[in-house]
Amino acid sequence: MENIPAKLEQFYEGKAKKLYSTSDPDLVIAYFKDDATAFNAKKRGTIEDKGVINNRMSELFFTLLERNGVPTHFVQRLNDREMLCKRLEIIPVELVVRNIVAGSMAKRLGREEGEPLKRPVVEYYYKSDPLDDPLINADHALVFGWATPAELRTIDTLALKVNEVLSRFLDERGILLVDFKLEFGRHHGAILLGDEICPDTCRFWDKQTREKLDKDRFRRDLGNVEGAYQEMLRRVEA
Whichever domain contains 59, its CATH number is 3.30.200.20
CB atoms within 10 A of CB 112: 8
Could you tell me if 122 and 178 lie in one domain? yes
Confidence class for position 220, pLDDT limits 50, 70, 90: very high
CA distance 96 to 124: 6
Q: Is residue 2 part of a domain?
A: no
pTM of the model: 0.96
pLDDT of residue 43: 87
Domain boundary among 47, 67, 86: 86
pLDDT of residue 98: 98
pLDDT tens digits along 62-78: 999 999 999 999 999 99
Asked if residue 169 has pLDDT above 90, the reply is yes
Could you tell me if 108 and 196 lie in one domain? yes
Cβ contacts of 45 within 8 Å, gap of 6 or more:
35, 36, 37, 218
Q: Is residue 13 part of a domain?
A: yes
Could you tell me if 81 and 97 lie in one domain? no
pLDDT of residue 38: 85
CA distance 101 to 116: 6
Average pLDDT over residues 172-201: 98
pLDDT of residue 42: 79
Could you tell me if 195 and 212 lie in one domain? yes
Asked if residue 58 has pLDDT above 90, the reply is yes
pLDDT of residue 135: 98
Please choose, from the candidates 110, 144, 109, 108, the residue with its C-alpha nearest in 3D space to the C-alpha of residue 126: 144
Could you tell me if 108 and 200 lie in one domain? yes
Could you tell me if 95 and 199 lie in one domain? yes
CATH number at 95 reads: 3.30.470.20
Are the C-beta atoms of 85 and 5 separated by less than 8 Å? no
Domain boundary among 40, 63, 86: 86
Are the C-beta atoms of 95 and 184 separated by less than 8 Å? yes
Region of 38 on the Ramachandran plot (φ > 0 left; ψ -120 to 50 alpha; else beta): beta
CA distance 63 to 14: 24
pLDDT of residue 41: 73
CA distance 216 to 22: 34
Could you tell me if 93 and 70 lie in one domain? no
pLDDT tens digits along 102-156: 999 999 999 999 999 999 999 999 999 999 999 999 999 999 999 999 999 999 9
Q: Is residue 236 part of a domain?
A: no
Could you tell me if 55 and 93 lie in one domain? no
Instruction: Report the half-sphere exposure of 132 (CA within 13 A, side-chain side).
Output: 5
pLDDT of residue 1: 65
Q: Is residue 207 part of a domain?
A: yes
Please choose, from the candidates 9, 196, 177, the residue with its C-alpha nearest in 3D space to the C-alpha of residue 85: 196
Could you tell me if 105 and 220 lie in one domain? yes
Could you tell me if 104 and 197 lie in one domain? yes
Confidence class for position 82, pLDDT limits 50, 70, 90: very high
Q: Is residue 238 part of a domain?
A: no
Amino acid at 70: V
* Percent of the chain residues past pLDDT 90, beyond the cut: 95
Q: Is residue 15 part of a domain?
A: yes
pLDDT of residue 178: 98
Could you tell me if 66 and 124 lie in one domain? no
Q: Is residue 232 part of a domain?
A: no
Q: Which residues pair with 186 in a beta bridge?
A: 89, 191
Could you tell me if 48 and 93 lie in one domain? no
Average pLDDT over residues 205-210: 98
More confident residue, 42 or 233: 233
Domain hosting residue 71, numbered range: 7-86
Count of structural domains, the chain: 2
pLDDT of residue 119: 98
DSSP secondary structure string, 138-164? Answer: HHHHHHTTSS-HHHHHHHHHHHHHHHH
Domain boundary among 86, 109, 137: 86
Q: Is residue 230 part of a domain?
A: no
Asked if residue 3 has pLDDT above 80, the reply is yes
